[in-house]
Amino acid sequence: MMKYCFICLLFSTTVMFGQEAVSQEVEEEYTSPKINFLEMNASFTNASGFFERNFPKTKFGFEAGYLRQIKSEKPLFWGISLYYAFMESQGATFQEPLDFGFADFDYNSTTNLWGLNGKLRFYPNLYLGKLETYLEAQLGYKWIYTGTTKSLVDDEDSSDFYIEKGSLSLTYGISAGLNYPVSDNVYINVRANYLPGLSVPYYVKDERNVLEFSSIDKFNIKNSTTDIIRWDVGVTFWPSFSSDDED
């Protein structure tokens, strides 16, 4: 029940600030340029709660984001965040009939996690030396899918790919981060994200399973919440169009 209340709160806040941003774009006279951020980060993802039972190790990936100031000279931004984490994989080779003989085929099954969130960022008037702090509220989806690639050993160009299973998990959460200035428009970015997600089915590798016909034989379907804690390290920068005049 608390999760659904939290989702409703984030959604209401997002709608409120979105409406305010639109009205300001239409009604207010232009005073000063709004700041735009681009972000590129390496990410380190740790599953949490029931999700951690199936993925106990840290997963590596990336995160990219865009943010735009809602109102000039105000420390509030809206934006989007796209992130990815490689979860696990299993390979195997099987001999199968081909034409009038037999050939070896490589199978590789991989589980991946993609996420797309909308978010609001607030910069409080709190500095730690040169470090600038910020807080975020996020709402979006995770897509957890497992795909299998099958290719002929002697001809890797002749390969097939198909998705075994994919599930969307409604995701919400909060983040806290630090920006450290490197130059006038480039900052080092460090952020911690807590992103719970609703329960969905997905494939998990089980070492006890026996490979018989495909690499997917090594996987079982599990069902749980998809909570993660993600650490991001990278850069935040202001592209040239951030200071362009607006009509």
Tokens in use for 7? Answer: 């989702």
pLDDT value of residue 44? 98
Q: In the CATH scheme, what is the code of domain 2-27+47-241?
A: 2.40.160
Domain spans, the chain: 2-27+47-241
Average pLDDT by stretches of 10, the chain with 247 residues: 48 46 47 86 97 97 96 93 98 89 92 98 91 97 97 81 96 97 93 98 96 95 98 90 49
Spatial separation of the C-alpha atoms in residues 42 and 190, rounded to whole Å: 10
pTM recorded for the entire structure: 0.83
- pLDDT of amino acid 242: 54
- For residue 239, the model assigns a pLDDT of 79
Residues 10 and 118: their CA atoms lie apart, in Å, by: 10
The Cα 197–Cα 187 span in angstroms is 30
